[in-house]
Amino acid sequence: MRSITRGLALGSAAMTLTALTALAWPGAAGAAPAGTASLYPPSALVLGLTAGEDADAGTVVRAVTLVCAPAPAGTHPAPAAACAELRANRAGWDALAAPAADTACTREWNPMTVTADGVWEGARVDYAYTFANPCGLRNSTGVLFDF
Amino acid sequence: MRSITRGLALGSAAMTLTALTALAWPGAAGAAPAGTASLYPPSALVLGLTAGEDADAGTVVRAVTLVCAPAPAGTHPAPAAACAELRANRAGWDALAAPAADTACTREWNPMTVTADGVWEGARVDYAYTFANPCGLRNSTGVLFDF
């Protein structure tokens, strides 16, 4: 009987865990959900490049995915470097998007907007940065938006 | 000389193309950008599952990526089926998220919110749907949010 009692006690303890436990039902047969058993907060992003200055209404001409947990992956050309950059720059995304200080660009107005949507370390992200022209984008500081 | 003239004419024609051509500079050395040469409008999504009813402030407990062009891919457990579902339901995402008609659920308030962020066929997406409790999510109509 002791073992049964213990089993029930464990069951009760499990039920007091809130959201995470409530989500731990078995997945669909044959499916292998990627993040179900992960102990990391999810980090999955869609990085987009939009022609024009309006990130919401403009047409997205390119988009890549970037997954940073549990391991760097996605269609981004350099996922490991991009994830490392993001981790090192918690302060702000602008530091990664802004053109590097030592670059010279023409100044015409031909705007390009980069966007980041999705989840970063468990929090939803909705970021946009507009460059005056493609030169600024090409010379952006980091590799995150170099796709 | 004729061939040179033709080359210049082609160059001028290319310059009249606006945004897409302006973006066609060579990528960084060694990188293989995923969508650069694609003729498809980009479709890349991050699907998230948030505990609670606030998709913006809540904590995302799971997130997967889904790429639908040029081919289904990503960390979603069934990318091909999810992309097919999305293509067949241009009218609305709610049809994919809503619980199927023939399911019975308890009615307690333990909300779960699913989100879709990123790009769908060249347009940015910011979608959220809140279920009253996990039963509704488990019985959602489609496979899109079954991860």
Choice between B10 and A43, residue whose per-residue pLDDT is larger: A43
Average pLDDT, chain A: 76
Q: Determine the pLDDT at residue B91.
A: 56
Expressed as residue numbers, the domain containing B14 is 1-32
Query: What's the whole-number mean pLDDT along residues A1-10?
Result: 40
B15 inside domain: yes
Q: Which of B46, B138, B144 to mutate to test the interface with A (most CBs of A within 10 A)?
A: B46
A63 with A5, same domain?
Answer: no
Same structural domain, B49 and B17: no
Residues A80 and A8 in one domain: no
What value does the mean pLDDT take over residues A66-90? 90
Same domain, B66 and B99: yes
Q: Indicate the residue of A27, A59, A63 with minimum beta-carbon distance to B44.
A: A63
Are A64 and B44 contacting, i.e. CB atoms less than 8 angstroms apart? yes
Q: Is A40 on the interface with B (CB under 8 A)?
A: no
Assigned domain for A72 exists: yes
The answer to whether the Cβ–Cβ distance between A62 and B33 falls below 8 Å is: yes
Give the CATH number of the domain where residue A68 resides: 3.30.350.10
- Asked if residue A126 and residue A96 are part of one domain, the reply reads yes
Q: Is B20 on the interface with A (CB under 8 A)?
A: yes
Q: Has residue A86 got a pLDDT over 70?
A: yes
* Contact state of A62 with B36 under an 8 Å Cβ cutoff: yes
Whether residues B65 and B91 share a domain: the answer is yes
Interface size, chain A vs chain B, as Cβ–Cβ contacts under 8 Å: 189
Asked if residue A1 and residue A55 are part of one domain, the reply reads: no
Residue of A nearest to B136 (CA): A23
B28 & B99 share domain: no
The interface predicted TM-score (ipTM) is: 0.71
Q: Are residues A75 and A117 in the same domain?
A: yes
Does any CB of chain A come closer than 8 Å to the CB of residue B45? yes
pLDDT of B35 reads: 43
Whole-angstrom Cα distance, residue B72 to residue A17? 35
Closest residue in chain B to residue A47, using alpha carbons only: B118
- Most confidently predicted of A22-31, A62-71, B20-29: A62-71
Q: Does residue A6 or residue A137 have the better pLDDT?
A: A137
Q: Is residue A17 within 8 angstroms of chain B, CB to CB?
A: no
A100 part of a folded domain: yes
pLDDT at residue B104, rounded to an integer: 85
Tell if the CB–CB gap between A61 and B44 is shorter than 8 Å. Answer: no
Q: Hey, what amino acid is at A130?
A: T
**Contacts B19 to A, Cβ<8 Å:** 51-52, 59, 61
Each as own residue / partner, the long-range contacts of residues B124-127 (CB below 8 Å, 24 or more positions apart, any chain) are B124/A48, B124/A50, B124/A55, B124/A56, B124/A60, B124/A115, B124/A117, B125/A117, B125/B45, B126/A117, B126/A126, B127/B93
Q: Report which of B24, B18, B50, B49 is spatially closest to residue B36, judged by C-alpha positions.
A: B24
Residue ranges in A2-61 assigned as alpha helix (H):
2-16, 19-22
**Together in a domain, B50 and B118:** yes
CB proximity under 8 Å: A 79-108 to B: none
Residues A58 and A3 in one domain: no
Is residue B38 in a domain?
no
In which band, very low, low, confident or very high, does the pLDDT at A99 lie, cut at 50, 70 and 90?
confident
- pLDDT, tens digit, 9 for 90 and up, residues B104-113: 888 889 999 9
> Does B144 reside within a domain?
no
**Inter-chain contact B55–A143, Cβ cutoff 8 Å?**
no
The whole model's pTM is what?
Answer: 0.72
Residue A39 maps to a domain? no
Same domain? For B78 and B120 the reply is yes
A83-106 exposure pattern, b = at least 16 Cβ within 10 A, e = fewer = bbbbeeeeeebeebbbbeeeeeee
Which residues of A are less than 8 Å from B122 in CB distance?
A: 59-61
Locate B116 and state its tokens: 């879709």
Q: Is residue B85 part of a domain?
A: yes
Number of structural domains found in chain A: 2
**Residue A143 domain-assigned (yes or no):** no
